[in-house]
Amino acid sequence: MANASAVLKPKSHDEEINIGLETKYRAQAAKSLSDILAATYRLTIKSHVYHWNVVGPLFKPLHELTEEHYNALFKASDIIAERIRALGHLAPATLGEAAQFAPKANEVGKLTAVDMVNDLVADHEAAVKVMRDTAEKADEAGDVVTADMLTDRLTFHEKALWMLRAIVAE
């Protein structure tokens, strides 16, 4: 019978893996994906805070849209973190202080629905730029899984941008 402690001993996260991707690329991809994960959390938190606090004539459509977005973003964070793990790296244990991601409490009451949308648009656009660059590098490295995941994420963010802009269009 095998030694139970040897069987149950977890393997180190830095063990050598051979999935057809260069070690250096995997480290760079994990770093970029960690940045994308942080941006995803930032958008999750902001979308949730704005969901709770939006007022005015745009309340209902923005309240519903931000709820749809923060739920999708929360699910995406797990997908991104699991890809980092599949590349042989630890998902970030800290994503910074959540307080840094959320809008300041004393500012939320002063923001109009349009201000909230514009803030979300800026964060979505910034995330899209990093995702697009990371997806291109993944394609060049033959990392079709990361590229495919980022294509899905880009599709979500570009649709979110369209919808957010449509809500505030005059």
Tens-place pLDDT, residues 49-84:
999 999 999 999 999 999 999 999 999 999 999 999
Separation of alpha carbons 78 and 153, rounded Å: 12
User: What pLDDT was estimated at residue 36?
Assistant: 94
Which range is least confidently modeled, 9-23, 107-121, 147-161?
A: 9-23
- Phi and psi, residue 97, nearest 5°: -75, 130
Q: Is 21 within 8 Å of 86 (Cβ atoms)?
A: no
pTM comes to 0.84
Q: Is 12 within 8 Å of 124 (Cβ atoms)?
A: no
Tokens linked to 144: 């079709």
User: What pLDDT was estimated at residue 9?
Assistant: 52
Q: Is 88 within 8 Å of 14 (Cβ atoms)?
A: yes
Residue 8 has pLDDT above 60, yes or no: no
Name residues whose C-beta falls within 8 Å of residue 91's C-beta, 6 or more positions apart in sequence: 34, 37, 81, 82, 84, 85
Q: Is 76 within 8 Å of 40 (Cβ atoms)?
A: yes
pLDDT 10s digits, 86-140 = 999 988 876 565 555 566 666 777 889 999 999 999 999 999 999 999 999 999 9
Structural domains present in the chain: 21-168 (1.20.1260.10)
